[in-house]
């Protein structure tokens, strides 16, 4: 395979070039949650030529996933395949040069360090706050950048969390909200277009972080597609944050 030919539309792009493409081929990422956001992210990173992608999720594909989870099909749902296995088999056909590590695992504070410690960047494809706080704290301790993302209805948010500099998720919300205190996709729904938008932003931010592009965005980006509204919200690192405050 001629790498420069395969990626020529990326290599000619001013932010990447041949050197950047070679760096992407060595880049390592973990995607936590391989549902709507996670499949959009994985599709993007693997097509862009990331060298290693770890996929972590414990769920199986269901028919109601197909409206928005872009790597799965009706056969995966009928067979009840694990999402990470269905995704890995599809991704392997898209780009055989990416090393894929599917892990059927429910992420929690006890296992998260083993999933995020050996990669360049961690991407949030999860749908629950306990997992996000576990990622936030482990990545903060280990000095790994991670990218928060969440979607609901037509709306989504995303924020880069850079180790040592913050702000992090605990600067934004010190503790995870109580389950039941917030709306969920089960009641509000979720449009596949918002998962594609937020997943694409997470993926391009991961590329910029890997390539060392200057000044990764620190603001919280909030998007509502039905109202066509885009907002950037400045979040200050909190002195009382147990992750960021200690470093100040
Ligand atoms: Zn913080």
How many whole angstroms from 219 Cα to the centroid of ligand 1? 13
List, for residues 151-180, the tens digit of each pLDDT value.
999 999 999 999 888 899 999 999 988 888
List, for residues 189-205, the tens digit of each pLDDT value.
999 999 999 999 999 99
Q: What is the domain-level CATH number for residue 94?
A: 3.40.50.720
How many whole angstroms from 23 Cα to the centroid of ligand 1? 29
How many whole angstroms from 152 Cα to the centroid of ligand 1? 24
Average pLDDT over residues 42-53: 98
How many whole angstroms from 159 Cα to the centroid of ligand 1? 12
How many whole angstroms from 13 Cα to the centroid of ligand 1? 34
For the chain, the three-class secondary structure string (H helix, E strand, C coil) is: CCHHHHCHHHHCCCCCHHHHHHHHHCCEEEEECCCHHHHHHHHHHHHHCCCEEEEEECCECCHHHCCCCCCCCHHHHHHCCEHHHHHHHHHHHHCCCCEEEEEECCCCCCCCHHHHCCCCEEEECCCCHHHHHHHHHHHHHHCCCEEEEEEEECEEEEEEECCCCCCCHHHHCCCCCCCCCCCCHHHHCECHHHHHHHHHHHHHHHHHHHHCCCCCCCCEEEEECCCCEEEEECCCCCCCCCCCHHHC
List, for residues 98-130, the tens digit of each pLDDT value.
999 999 999 999 999 999 999 999 999 999 999
| pLDDT at residue number 247 | 52
How many whole angstroms from 28 Cα to the centroid of ligand 1? 24
How many whole angstroms from 66 Cα to the centroid of ligand 1? 35
- The fraction of the chain above a pLDDT of 70, given in percent, is 98
How many whole angstroms from 36 Cα to the centroid of ligand 1? 27
| pLDDT at residue number 246 | 54
pLDDT at 248 over 50: no
List, for residues 7-32, the tens digit of each pLDDT value.
999 999 999 999 999 999 999 999 99
Report the chain's mean pLDDT, rounded to a whole number. Answer: 94
Number of domains in the chain: 1
The pTM score is 0.96
How many whole angstroms from 145 Cα to the centroid of ligand 1? 13
State the residue range of the domain holding 118: 3-247
């Amino acid at each position: 395979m001629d790498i420069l030919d395969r990626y020529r539309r990326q290599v000619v792009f001013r932010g990447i070039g041949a050197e950047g493409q070679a760096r992407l081929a060595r880049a390592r990422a973990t995607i936590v949650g391989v549902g709507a956001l996670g499949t959009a992210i994985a599709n993007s990173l693997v097509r862009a030529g990331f060298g290693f992608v770890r996929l972590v999720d414990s769920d199986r594909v269901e028919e109601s996933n197909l409206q928005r989870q872009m790597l799965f099909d009706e056969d995966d749902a009928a067979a009840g395949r694990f999402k990470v296995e269905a995704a890995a088999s599809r991704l392997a056909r898209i780009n055989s040069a990416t090393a894929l590590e599917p892990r059927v695992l429910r992420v929690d504070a006890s296992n998260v360090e083993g999933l995020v410690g050996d990669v360049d960047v961690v991407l949030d494809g999860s749908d629950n706050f306990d997992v996000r706080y576990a990622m936030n704290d482990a990545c903060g301790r280990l000095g790994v950048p991670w990218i928060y993302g969440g979607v609901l209805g037509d709306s989504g948010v995303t924020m880069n969390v850079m180790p040592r500099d913050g702000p992090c998720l605990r600067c934004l919300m010190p503790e995870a909200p109580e389950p039941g205190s917030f709306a969920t996709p089960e009641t509000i729904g979720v449009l596949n277009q918002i998962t594609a938008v937020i997943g694409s932003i997470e993926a391009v931010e991961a590329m910029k972080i890997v390539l060392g592009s200057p000044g990764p965005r620190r603001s919280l980006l909030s998007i509502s597609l039905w109202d066509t509204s885009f907002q950037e919200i400045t979040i200050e690192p909190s002195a009382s944050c147990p992750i960021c405050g200690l470093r100040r």
